[in-house]
Structure 1
Amino acid sequence: MSKRHSAKHKLDRRLGENIWGRPKSPVNKREYGPGQHGQRRKGKVSDFGIQLRAKQKLKGYYGDVTEKQFKACYTEAARMKGDTSQNLIGLLEQRLDMIVYRAKFAPTIFAARQIVSHGHIRVNGVKCNIASRRCFVGDEITLGSKAKEMALVLEAQNLAEREIPDYVAPDGNAKITFVRVPTLDEVPYPVKMEPNLVVEFYSR
């Protein structure tokens, strides 16, 4: 499992956007960049800079995904039929940690990663601790018996700031079914994501 070496909210400050839609984000107070010259740093951004920023934002949103994993995801999306940017979003949303997050089993994507890696999640009745595992349509994801009582899980289920999307069908508080691979407009991102720019970045 990759480890995040910098504070999560540094990414928010650097991008100037509350990418996870969390109420504690520092961007809610200060929209300018970090550092002594953060308020003045408004230079013209090149096409490469715009594409890089779009990639950093999308990659950052999915938590601790490494550059190697993210690029492998893009490579696979490019090989698939159809729109590469839509394929990329579909592959990222099929990750087990992301489905756990969408199901409101965890308050943040980082907590979802932790719950999976600690063995609290079952896929079709089998314990799985691999956060990057790809789930398929029809897969049932359930919470382990210990996890149902965890404060983290109970906090997540009471969060008013997020709703469970249509492509994840809940069955009670501890079980969901992955109904379909979503398209970009179905994914409830708190900020605008531009996977088309990510595709341009990698296909240069």
Structure 2
Amino acid sequence: MLNIFNQDHDLAIPMGIPHVFRFRPPNEKTISELKEHYIWFSDRNSLNDELDSNPEFVKLSTNPEEQKLLYDTIAEHILDPKVKAYFDKHMNTERLQEFASTKIKPFVSSFGIACFTMYTINEKLWDIYSENNKGVCLHFDSSNDPKFFHNILPMFYVSEIKEREYSAISQPNHIIDLFYKKTKNGLMKKNLDF
């Protein structure tokens, strides 16, 4: 009898790095992914947990040094003399902070999200993401396209999502962890819209 955990068997499913798997429900998007050879990325509004990647947990840093750094960085990249003159005359760090804060939600919402796992044997994931075991599990070798898979990181399950201060210039990648945290309760929800 074949045991998929016996990695020495010819028919064994390779698991662990660089192999990743994606559970998909039996629907038109999954069929389209298979036919057209692409990976569907959900927008954050269609995720199964309203706390996932929620921009409401990101606040722009109010540190005066960070605000000045943001102001100076934007000012030095304005090439048009008229725009630069307007910026210098009408913009200050407080107004820039207010304006930049309005851009956090569109920025976070511009990212698509696709979830993967390293192991096929996870009953909860089969139930939730493949519509109660009716769907499929897609297998990818991430080493075949390292550029595409470079952002695959582990998901951290936490009791609550906490607000974070975002320093857009000095720590531009600090916002990334927003996409890799999920509440422990979020995994239990089954009202999925893929």
TM-score over 0.5 for the alignment? Answer: no
TM range (shorter): under 0.3
Task: Return the TM-score normalized by structure 2.
Answer: 0.25
Which structure has more relative contact order (CA 8 Å, sep 6+)? It is 2
Task: Return the TM-score normalized by structure 1.
Answer: 0.24
